[in-house]
Amino acid sequence: MSKIPKNLLYTEEHEWILVEGNRGTIGITDHAQDALGDVVYVDLPKVGDKIVKGETFGTVESVKAASDIYAPVSGTVVEVNEALKDSPELINRSPYDEAWMIVVELDDESELDELLSPEDYENILEGE
Amino acid sequence: MKGTPLIFERSVPGKEGFRLYAPDVPGVNLSETIGGGLLRQNLDLPEVSEVDVVRHYTKLSKMNFGVDDGFYPLGSCTMKYNPKINEEITAYPAFTELHPYAPEELAQGTLRFMYEMQRFLCEITGMDYFTLQPAAGAHGELTGILIIKKFLEAAGQKRSRIIVPDSSHGTNPATAKESGFEIVKVKSGMNGLVDLEELKKNVDENVAALMLTNPNTLGLFEKDIPEISHILHEKGALLYYDGANLNAIMGIARPGDMGFDVVHVNLHKTFSTPHGGGGPGAGPVGVKAFLRDFLPKPIVEKEGDTYFLDYNMPRSIGRVKAFYGNIGVVLKAYAYIRSLGARGLREVSEMAVLNANYLKKKIQDLFEVPVDTICKHEFVVSAGNWKKKNGVRALDIAKRLLDYGFHPPTIYFPLIVEEALMMEPTETEGKEALDAFADSLMRICDEAQENPDLMQNTPHHMPVKRVDEVKAAREMKLKAGQL
């Protein structure tokens, strides 16, 4: 069973977000990395870019497939995890910690209400 | 590749495979004619003799595997046997020695088979006009979507989105993106088919087209295709047919009759021309009459008994390939169609579907079956049960099949099926081949059961053992000098 930390919010597309104040740290879940297999490449936005809830903001590529990463919220990118460029394997090793992808400043905190709780996300995974 | 050095590693300084005689024309000073900046002093080429080259590549060719060697059930690729008569016909000097700039009156034979091929493909797919230019399936897609784009522009419509199902071939979203459209993915329903309610939600006046293959990538016939067509056309959007799976329905159902406006067909799949390792392929595109003017020019037309290239197409998207396409490939496919005839082509599809269902029935209990129903020409099973039970993955099973002398099926596609194994036996395999393959899969599953460790680094008996795909992708080395 894949790990689902209790302090995060989730999307149906298997992204997570850690909210602190008006900032959110975003990555992909343990389930996502397991389904993808060994990640070999990550494409992320730049600091200053805008991301829009529900739209793609990046790509993760494994030997099996390339998958879009969807924005759980709208906002402005303020930090990007540059370490992933040279070490995409961090996504497999540490999806919730070392492999955070971007930090955004939230446009609208009410968007968070539409995200999945850890329990809801777990239910979705069990249904799959 | 252990034990098989690269041609560069066979290089011995000063060794030569040629001898240049003294020229009998005046010499040219290259640094004057070409310019010093463009001249390289050292070309990193291997220094080998003729026999070195021949032995090196002969050795490599013996490690190759193709449809002439054995069963090749690579799903979605239609790796059928390619009849040798295709090659024989195409080797006639009347075709091979024709210059592409030859005047039309000297090229009537070639123009005739091109014209007839356009008509045959129209008849088979239910379309009105065809171009033979595109050089491959994905090239056909690009051509088809550019035709749709130009048509919409000409009609003064600004439509920015293209819908693709989540089970689609990766080339579909790539084509849409490359043509400047936004991609909208529509989820499949539980039955593995396009979910009509999901589709309705996504179709509006901003949608240019839906790209669909029928049967779809799960090998299932989209039985709601008239309704799908209605949903699109009602909003002024067009329907694009990816011909990857045409081998399932030839002579039985036609995309044109289903409501598709543009189709591409893969001659190298359905019509038995060689592919894998570069082909080359051919991906002719067919359209309904209202799109004729937008086809790449020229197309071949006929007046009386004379064939000619029609360049009078001012609204054409232009050429998409030098000259008239991969004409040699078109000729092989033409030979195939002529030798089978209409009834033969129908039998091809019937047998392809029968073979797929026979194989599915024989092996489905070994795996999980995402949608358990009669399939068309191919089917998908999931090795998810093995992964959960003892960590054996689709990749391990595929690699083990190599040890048993088979080309593996397609794996990890379509993306909507976990640990997917996608099998397309094609019509050219006899019952014995299907039985032998099924028996081997059963044996491999026994091995997976008894000795999962053995499966971790399959294959064991190939000249090249398990390749490290992750390392290859992360540390890309594309030139011999980087190794």
Band of pLDDT at residue A1, cut at 50, 70 and 90: low
- Specify the pLDDT at position B483: 65
Say how many domains are in chain A: 1
CA within 13 Å, CB half, B351: 15
Helix axis angle for B327-363 and B108-125, nearest 10°, is 30
B30 vs chain A: nearest CA distance in angstroms? Answer: 43
Q: How far apart are CA B334 and CA A28, in angstroms?
A: 50
Question: Is B323 a member of any domain?
Answer: yes
Q: Chain B contacts of A89, Cβ < 8 Å?
A: 474
> What single string gives the DSSP state of each residue in B285-309?
EEE-GGGGGGSPSPEEEEETTEEEE
Question: Is B478 a member of any domain?
Answer: no
Rg, chain A, Cα only: 13
Question: Is B1 a member of any domain?
Answer: no
Range of the domain at B16: 7-62
Last residue of one domain, picked from the residues B340, B366, B389: B340
Question: Is A53 a member of any domain?
Answer: yes
CATH classification of the domain holding A61:
2.40.50.100
Question: Is B71 a member of any domain?
Answer: no
Q: How far apart are CA B360 and CA A66, in angstroms?
A: 28
Claim to verify: residue B370 and residue B458 sit in the same structural domain: yes
Beta strands in B87-146 (DSSP E): 129-131
Range of the domain at A91: 9-106
Cβ separation of A89 and B474 shorter than 8 Å? yes
Select the residue of B170, B418, B470 nearest A63 (Cβ to Cβ): B470
> What single string gives the DSSP state of each residue in B39-85?
--S--------HHHHHHHHHHHHHT---TTTS---BTTS------HH
Q: Which residues contact B88 (CB under 8 A, 6 or more apart)?
A: none
Residues belonging to chain B with any Cβ–Cβ distance to chain A shorter than 8 Å: 170, 412-413, 415, 418, 469-470, 473-474
Claim to verify: residue B120 and residue B55 sit in the same structural domain: no
- Specify the pLDDT at position B2: 54
- Specify the pLDDT at position A128: 67
Question: Is A122 a member of any domain?
Answer: no
Q: How far apart are CA B136 and CA B144, in angstroms?
A: 12
Rounded to a whole number, what is the distance in angstroms from the first to the last CA of chain B?
A: 12
Searching chain A, which residue's CA lies closest to the CA of residue B184?
Answer: A55
Claim to verify: residue B196 and residue B326 sit in the same structural domain: yes
CATH classification of the domain holding B314:
3.40.640.10
Claim to verify: residue B328 and residue B355 sit in the same structural domain: no
Number of other residues whose CB lies within 10 A of the CB of residue B117: 24
Claim to verify: residue B89 and residue B138 sit in the same structural domain: yes
Question: Is A120 a member of any domain?
Answer: no
Claim to verify: residue B268 and residue B324 sit in the same structural domain: yes
Q: How many CB pairs under 8 A join A and B?
A: 20
Question: Is B78 a member of any domain?
Answer: no
Question: Is B400 a member of any domain?
Answer: yes
Claim to verify: residue B127 and residue B172 sit in the same structural domain: yes
Q: Provide the ipTM.
A: 0.75
Supply the DSSP symbol for B246: G
A63 vs chain B: nearest CA distance in angstroms? Answer: 6
Number of other residues whose CB lies within 10 A of the CB of residue B126: 18
Q: Chain B contacts of A35, Cβ < 8 Å?
A: 418
Query: What single-letter amino acid sits at B152?
Result: L
Claim to verify: residue B277 and residue B400 sit in the same structural domain: no
pLDDT digits (tens, 9 = 90+) for A11-55: 999 999 999 999 999 999 999 999 898 999 999 999 999 999 999
Question: Is A123 a member of any domain?
Answer: no
Question: Is A72 a member of any domain?
Answer: yes
Residue bearing tokens 């070490």: A87
Claim to verify: residue B334 and residue B365 sit in the same structural domain: no
Searching chain B, which residue's CA lies closest to the CA of residue A87?
Answer: B474
Q: How far apart are CA B192 and CA B229, in angstroms?
A: 18
Q: How far apart are CA B410 and CA B397, in angstroms?
A: 11
Say how many domains are in chain B: 3
Select the residue of A38, A65, A89 nearest B412 (Cβ to Cβ): A65
Searching chain A, which residue's CA lies closest to the CA of residue B476?
Answer: A40
Q: How far apart are CA B250 and CA B268, in angstroms?
A: 15
Question: Is A39 a member of any domain?
Answer: yes
Query: Residues B122, B123, B128, CA angle at the centre, nearest 5°?
Result: 35
Q: In a 10 Å sphere around its CB, with 0-12 CB exposed, 13-18 middle and 19+ buried, how is residue B280 labelled?
A: middle
Hey, is B232 helix, strand or coil? helix
Sign of CA dihedral B469, B275, B253, B125: positive
What percent of chain B shows pLDDT beyond 70? 99
Q: How far apart are CA B111 and CA B138, in angstroms?
A: 25
- A65 vs B: CB within 8 A: yes
Q: Chain B contacts of A38, Cβ < 8 Å?
A: 469-470
- A61 vs B: CB within 8 A: yes
Claim to verify: residue B333 and residue B427 sit in the same structural domain: no
Searching chain B, which residue's CA lies closest to the CA of residue A67?
Answer: B415
Question: Is A127 a member of any domain?
Answer: no
Query: In A, residues 27-56, which contact B (CB 8 Å cutoff)?
Result: 35, 38, 40-41
In order along its 483 residues, chain B shows pLDDT tens digits of: 456 888 999 999 999 888 888 889 998 888 888 877 888 878 888 999 999 999 999 999 999 899 999 999 999 999 999 999 999 999 999 999 999 999 999 999 999 999 999 999 999 999 999 999 999 999 999 999 999 999 999 999 999 999 999 888 889 999 999 999 999 999 888 889 999 999 999 999 999 999 999 999 999 999 999 999 999 999 999 999 999 999 999 999 999 999 999 999 999 999 999 997 778 999 999 999 999 999 999 999 999 999 999 999 999 999 999 999 999 999 999 999 999 999 999 999 999 999 999 999 999 999 999 988 999 999 999 999 999 999 999 999 999 999 999 999 999 999 889 999 999 999 999 999 999 999 999 999 999 999 999 999 999 999 889 988 888 888 888 877 666
Claim to verify: residue B255 and residue B213 sit in the same structural domain: yes
Question: Is B184 a member of any domain?
Answer: yes
Claim to verify: residue B283 and residue B404 sit in the same structural domain: no
Q: Which residues contact B394 (CB under 8 A, 6 or more apart)?
A: B382, B383, B387, B411, B412, B419, B420, B421
Interface test with A, best of B171, B183, B474 (most A CBs within 10 A): B474
CA distances from B400 to B6, B65, B159, B441, B468 (A): 26, 15, 48, 9, 16
Question: Is B67 a member of any domain?
Answer: no
Cβ separation of B412 and A89 shorter than 8 Å? no
Token pair, residue B455, equals 């499966």
Helix axis angle for B431-450 and B327-363, nearest 10°, is 60
